[in-house]
Amino acid sequence: MNDPLESQRGGTEKRPRQVFELDETGFNEVPPRYRRFYRRWKGTADSLAPNEVKCPVCKVVIRSRVELRAGDRVYCMPCMSRLEVIEENGELVAKVLY
């Protein structure tokens, strides 16, 4: 039996991940060397790039140097949470791993 979601994910994995150059966005709540990995969520007009996911605990946007995919593990330093990227309704969201 083929799980279309699984095969779709497999297809995505084969494609090389996009790489992103992270710039400073003015986020200043973590030590300077980590600041570019986070930014503030600007509200409903804001949107997430393929290398970004929102922290469900503190609502900060977590950024990665590469495109994120389901199964990735990321950290939210501002609230000290360990998270896993999962796919929910076709979108990537972060789930807290305690």
Partner 1 sequence: MSGQDDPHQLDASAFHRTVHSFEFWFEAVEGYLHGREYGVSPATQEVELSERQRESLITILCNYCVGETAALDASSGMIGFAPDRISKIFLSTQVVDEGRHLEVMLHRLGQLGVRDPEAEILQRANRSLLKFKERLLDFVHASDWEAAVLAQNVILECMEYTVFRYHAAHADPVTSEMLSGVVSDERRHMGFGENDLGRRLIVAPHAHERLLKIKRELDPLILDTFSETMGELGIEPASRPDLANEYLGAVARLGFQS
Residue of the chain from 37, 39, 61, 67 that contacts partner 1 (CB under 8 A): 37
77 forms part of the interface with partner 1 (CB under 8 A): yes
Would you state the structure tokens that stand for residue 18, as one six-digit string? 């996009």
Q: Stretches 2-10, 11-19, 22-30, 86-94: which one binds partner 1 (CB under 8 A)?
A: 22-30
Q: Say which residue the tokens 């469900």 belong to.
A: 56
Q: Which is nearer to partner 1, 5 or 61 (CB)?
A: 61
Q: What type of residue sits at position 42?
A: K
Q: Which of 59, 42, 66 is nearest to 94 (CA)?
A: 59
CA atoms within 13 A on the CB side of 80: 0
Instruction: Point out which residues bind partner 1 (CB under 8 A).
Output: 22, 28-37, 56-58, 60, 64-65, 72-82, 96, 98
